Amino acid sequence: MKTAIAEMEPYRRIVGPATRQRVRSTLRAALNAAIAQQLITFNPAAHVELEAGKRPKALVWTEERILHWKRTGEKPSPVMVWTPEHTGLFLDHIAEGRLYALFHLIAFRGLRRGEACGQKWTDTNLDAGLITVAKQLVVDGWEVYEDDPKTDAGARTIALDSDTVQALKRHRAQQDKDREEWGSAWVETGRVFTKENGEMLHPANVTRRFIELYEEIDLPPVRLHDLRHGAATLAHAAGADLKDIQEMLGHSSITITADTYTSLLPEADLAIAEAAARLVPRARPTSENTAPEAEPEPDDAEHPDPESVPDDADPLGGIREINSPSAHAPLTHRSRKRPRTRSPRPSRSPPWGINPRSER
């Protein structure tokens, strides 16, 4: 087996911890089936120890994280999400490109790379603003084949916004022109996104082109799959709940959606923090309702004579209290009361002539 692994083609990439966990699970199930058929007596995969396959948390490319990446070259997380401004810059940059509609569809509706490359016109209804994800292109080594969606929930119908519909209509018009130009050499695949001659796209080439395009305008690095994370984040910020996002992305479990695919944009995070703070009533002034402090009175200011004070006012300058001040009023508006002097209370003899202190 070691010899066979060593002879594998060098382009095979090293998989991550989560994929290794799934490989072990599949191998363990196959070996258990072999034990049930009495082909083997021991399952070696049951004792293989692997690191935990924890899903990385998606993070948004904030200014601080971009500065750290430029200084050190380190990404804060394997899964990074562009801000809406980054996404807008990227789409504006490629607006005249051949694959604009594909990247637009992934960025706003969260299709997987294989789903977008495998989408067919027969499953696309632009008049109704709906697409049905029914097939995907899968890469095995370098070979590409068509398969069903990744999960049962992956076969889904997605609503399209008006901008996405217009982008797909322009793309279809361009594809019709290409079909006429190529004539009999046109390869009819029925797919929405193709090469200039109609052949299907290789998903790996789409990823390579995506990287080239965002590097042209010095955007922070993300994977093509991270556009899918960004679509979930945009939908979440727009008010969609987790169930809606789960159905849009085609997840089999809402736990995956909650744990991995939704990140709070800085603007939405700040709005939530401010809304939470406003729910608590405060007696003391806050930064928004603090009244400006009164300027100190100059020494040469004229003071009113006792004769000029109204009959119902305090000659010492106090104001008779009429109503109690509000608990939410600024402290500078509280009324001042005249000090009251108390006469000493007369001592009272304890009942029954007993001195309490003597009994302690």
Each residue of 204-233: pLDDT tens digit? 999 999 999 999 999 999 999 999 989 988
Q: Indicate if the alpha-carbon torsion angle 234, 239, 242, 247 is positive or negative.
A: negative
**Are the CB atoms for 102 and 131 separated by under 8 Å?**
no
Q: Which of 161, 53, 61 is nearest to 108 (CA)?
A: 161
Report pLDDT for 16: 77
Please state the pTM of the whole predicted model: 0.68
With cut-offs at 50, 70 and 90, classify the pLDDT of residue 330: very low
In tens, the pLDDT along 284-328 reads 766 555 555 555 555 554 554 544 445 554 444 444 444 444 444
Report pLDDT for 286: 62
Residue 144: CB atoms within 10 Å? 17
Residue 268: CB atoms within 10 Å? 16
Residue linked to tokens 């789903």: 115
With cut-offs at 50, 70 and 90, classify the pLDDT of residue 237: confident
Beta strand 136-140 with 143-147 is antiparallel
Report pLDDT for 263: 66
Report pLDDT for 19: 81
Domain boundaries, the chain: 2-47, 59-276
Helix (H) or strand (E) segment spanning residue 230: helix 226-237
φ, ψ for residue 95, nearest 5 deg: -55, -30
pLDDT surpassing 50 at residue 360: no
DSSP string, 290-330: PPPPPPPPPTTPPPPPGGGS-TTS-TTS-----SPPPTTS-
The 3-state DSSP composition of the chain as helix, strand, coil percent (nearest 5) reads: 45, 10, 45
Mean pLDDT of 154-159: 91
Report pLDDT for 113: 95
**Residue 78 in 3-state DSSP?**
coil
User: In the CATH scheme, what is the homologous superfamily, with its name and number, of domain 59-276?
Assistant: Intergrase catalytic core (1.10.443.10)
Rounded Cα–Cα distance for residues 149 and 250 (Å): 9
Beta strand 80-81 with 59-60 is parallel
Return mean pLDDT, the chain.
81
Structure-token pair, residue 160: 């399209």
**Residue 15 in 3-state DSSP?**
coil
**Are the CB atoms for 118 and 132 separated by under 8 Å?**
no
Rounded Cα–Cα distance for residues 303 and 155 (Å): 85
Which residues lie closer than 8 Å to 28 by C-beta, 6 or more apart?
43, 45, 46
DSSP string, 80-123: EE--HHHHHHHHHHTTTSTTHHHHHHHHHH---HHHHHH-BGGG
In tens, the pLDDT along 78-106 reads 889 999 999 999 999 999 999 999 999 99
Percent of the chain whose pLDDT exceeds 70: 75
Structure-token pair, residue 67: 């500065």
pLDDT surpassing 70 at residue 350: no
Mean pLDDT of 163-178: 96
